[in-house]
Amino acid sequence: MTLATTLATAPLMVQKLMAHKLMAHKLRSALAGVAMLSAALLPLAPAARAQSIIFDDEIEALLTDYARPVLRASNLGQGNVSMRIINDRSFNAFVLDGRNVFINTGLIIQAETPNQVIGVIAHEVGHIDGAHLAALRSEMQRMQTGMIITRILGIAAAVLARSGAAVVAADDLWLKTFLARRRSQESSADQAGLRFLELTGQSGRGMLETFERLGMENRAYGVNPYLLSHPTERTRIAQLRQKAEASAFFNVKDKPELQLRHDLVRAKLRGYTFPAQDVFRLYPADNKSLPARYARAIAANCSGNCTKAMGEIDALIKERPNSPYFWELKAHVYSKEGKFAQAVPHIRQALKLGGSRSHLLRMELAKAIVEGGNVAQYDEAIRILEVSIDTRPDDIGGYRTLARAYAAKGRVADADVAMAQAHLISGDPKQAIIFARRAQRGLAQGSRGWLKADDIIKTLPRELRDRGG
């Protein structure tokens, strides 16, 4: 696989995610209710920052396997709840809706066992199962109105008293009341998560260890317990410990093969997202384990050396020839050097081993074919892209590659539709409408391509359409 943006050395398709962590401290504004929705849904963070979603077959497969028993126990197994990977080194996970659980790369990297990640997933599924998100949105709407009214009254009182103390007190009261309800939801999610683990014969030790860690971090930062959206660590840990240790499954260990998969994914993330020198320090040459060699092979081949260290990847393939991810790594290194024709057979082998339904690998195959310039195979690339691009609708590179393939086959109007979509995603509406209208002139009205172009035009502001782009 190749990159769409950031992480310039990793074969991880990255898309922009409009997700921000906002400080949940004393919010003293009449508009605080709007900001607090994000603050309430996410754990406390030291600063707001944009993040990215990472798409990777190996990591997604592992997280899906972690989540499957928990989702089945919660009767959400058929609800299409997906695991999403956030490129963020902080130890964190969250839900924003009832369809996705977001897991930070930092949580995966720092979790020493699969059970620790599974415990976090169980907690987040507890939020979904308890419909906490819907309740929070309803509460936010009610609370925002109440805060505005209270703030108006507080301003009047402050004017009379010539002091802002009344305004601050009113805001603090609303905030603390709201966060108290959040703490109740967090405790409920804990208990639900432990119940799901019990039903699936899994230990609650990982969840306990995770929240013990978070408790130590809160104490280190000296966080005011009344300004936490989660229960205080002592109360929470005491409740977790009592129920987790009472389970007959508390001492159940992760299976060795699952632990190896976990360690391989941790090594992969470190290899791609850490500076090479840090990777070699964490995984020194005398560490001959498979995860250590995986991390070193990634760092050696993806930090400017490229195929100079291909032998390390070949050694991995020799040991585990049925691993699609080692073949994928070899293909990525060839693509990174611009040797796309050499990458193609390795992507095909990865597809053969990992299942032809992997849209990510199929997209990488199509891109390698087009970049390799073998026009005889462009029809195959177009078929792949037309189907697979719908699974990653924000993949700008995919649309540009499809446009190149269409143009090479003489399908200029179809190429214009693909370019219009690419410009729309990249935030250039003027170019999007130019390409969409040019495409319509070359397509039969009402045809599939014409309708796609029309949809693009209709998504744009009326004033832009009226100006003709």
| Distance (Å, whole) CA 370 – CA 97 | 37
Cβ contacts of 152 within 8 Å, gap of 6 or more: none
Structural tokens at position 398: 């995919």
Phi (first) and psi of residue 107, to 5 degrees: -65, -45
Q: In terms of C-beta density within 10 A (0-12 exposed, 13-18 middle, 19 or more buried), how is residue 116 classed?
A: buried
Percentages helix, strand, coil for the chain (3-state, rounded to 5) are 65, 5, 30
Q: Which tokens go with 102?
A: 């977001």
Residue 146's CB: how many other CB atoms inside 10 A? Answer: 15
pLDDT tens string 130-147: 776 666 666 666 666 555
Give how far the C-alpha of residue 87 lies from the chain's centroid of Cα atoms, to the nearest Å: 7
Question: What is the C-alpha to C-alpha distance for residues 351 and 358, in angstroms, rounded to an integer?
Answer: 7
Cα(42)–Cα(430) distance, integer angstroms = 35
User: What are the tokens at 348?
Assistant: 């095909």
SS3 95: strand
Closest by Cα among 286, 170, 190 to 243: 190
pLDDT at 180: 66
Distance separating alpha carbons of residues 76 and 82, to the nearest angstrom: 11
At residue 50, the pLDDT reads 46
Interatomic CA distance for residues 335 and 56, integer angstroms: 17
102 φψ region: left (φ > 0), alpha (ψ -120 to 50), beta (else) = beta
CA distance 72 to 200: 9
Task: Quote the CA–CA distance of 7 and 17 in Å, as a whole number.
Answer: 15
Round to whole Å and give the CA distance between 32 and 137.
Answer: 14
For 69, the token pair is 């028993």
> Which of 5, 22, 4 shows the shortest CA–CA distance to 229?
22
Q: Are 71 and 125 in contact (CB under 8 A)?
A: yes
Q: In this structure, are strands 93-95 and 51-55 parallel, antiparallel, or unpaired?
A: unpaired
Handedness of CA 378, 384, 386, 388 (dihedral sign): negative
Residue linked to tokens 């997906």 = 82
Three-class secondary structure of residue 464 per DSSP: helix
Which residues, given as ranges, of the chain have pLDDT below 70? 1-51, 78-79, 132-182, 215-233, 302-308, 355-356, 464-469
Q: What is the mean pLDDT of the chain?
A: 79
Nearest to 54 by CA among 360, 455, 309, 412: 360
